[in-house]
Amino acid sequence: MRALAVDLGGSHATCAVVEDRTIVRSETLTTERSIGLAPVLGRLAETFHKLLGEAGTRASDCAGLAFCFCGIASHSKAKVLSTNAKYDDATSLDLDGWCRETFGIPLELENDARMALLGEWYAGAARGFEDIVMITLGTGIGGAAMVNGRLLRGKHSQAGLGGHFPVLFNGRPCTCGGMGCAEAEASGWSLPEICRSTRGFESSSLARETPIGFEELFRHADAGDSLAIEVRDRCLAVWAAATVALILAYDPEVVVFGGAVMKSASAILPFLQAHVDRYAWTPWGKVALRSAELGNQAALLGAVPLIQSQAD
């Protein structure tokens, strides 16, 4: 099956022509979540037309366009439902109408964590499993679940928001309106503030880094900076608790970790596996924890299974 796919993140959009498990052509645009989605659509259309030409194919040869959005989106209604400060106009846009007018094909909308899960299930680390949790560690923390071979979406399309399960019931405020969410306690956007509010920050070597990301955090921790070690270990404990919660919620065989933070997988995955082995109540055996294999291609490679399952 041939399909168009777009993966829209907070600061970029990747357009692709895909064929089953292969990305035939792709191109990444820089964009800006604060300007809204409407001004981006024209650029996406231009890019797709260019890629189609390069690939020697036509939109009408594609079964559909898979649109991966970084917020809560209804697959069945093809509507963005909530944006959490990313492309706030998206909730008012008729994306399917835009797609049919522009390309003459239907649009299938899904959020980024579910698309990544679909991609890893179809072509990556979760091949062969039917009970899967996906956790994306990045600027935010995304979660998605497949139970018995089917994506769990929920009544209002928001099942699986594992990054917002409270893991510290009296914790920090989150952009989602909650508090103590895993995302508020250990994600790309919250990390700088967590570091700055930790005692001893002024004398930490991390204080000289701008911006402070997880790559910097892990590097300074490895170099022995005590504040970096403290914050790193706390972030690991937060992710571990969120992982346990997601395992108890969905009873998976495998948990796949993606997102930019997993560039430091060797510092993360062994800790999480040991924690889960010890603390997650899974009398049936051990849940396998794996790094995503597809990197930032996961959502694009979720396009074909998303479109194939459109009758779900």
Residue 117, CA distances (Å) to 76, 97, 132, 209, 210 in order = 18, 26, 8, 33, 32
Convert residues 269-298 into a mask of x (bound to its own copies by CB under 8 A) and - (unbound): ---------xxxxxxxx-------------
Return the number of the residue (82 or 205) whose C-beta is nearest its own copies: 82
By CB under 8 A, is residue 210 in contact with its own copies? Answer: no
The interface region with its own copies, picked from 39-47, 119-127, 249-257, 263-271 by CB under 8 A, is: 249-257
Q: Does 237 bind its own copies (CB under 8 A)?
A: yes
- Give residue 105's Cα distance to chain centre: 25
**Do residues 143 and 163 lie in contact, with contact meaning Cβ atoms separated by under 8 Å?**
yes
Which residues fall within 8 angstroms of residue 89, CB to CB, at 6 or more apart? 36, 37, 38
Contacts (Cβ under 8 Å, ≥6 apart) of 256: 116, 117, 120, 124, 125, 126, 132, 133, 134, 135, 290, 291, 292
Q: Give 18 or 184: the residue with its C-beta nearer to its own copies.
A: 184
Other CB atoms within 10 A of residue 218 CB: 19
* Stretch in the footprint of its own copies (CB under 8 A) among 7-15, 57-65, 175-183, 258-266: 175-183
Asked if residue 261 lies in contact with residue 140, where contact means CB atoms within 8 angstroms, the answer is no
Residue from 44, 117, 231, 244 touching its own copies (CB under 8 A): that is 244
Per-residue binding string, its own copies, 63-92, x by CB under 8 A, is ---------x--------xx-x--------
Binding site for its own copies (CB under 8 A): 72, 81-82, 84, 130-131, 147-148, 152-162, 164-170, 176-180, 185, 237-238, 240-241, 244-246, 248-253, 278-285
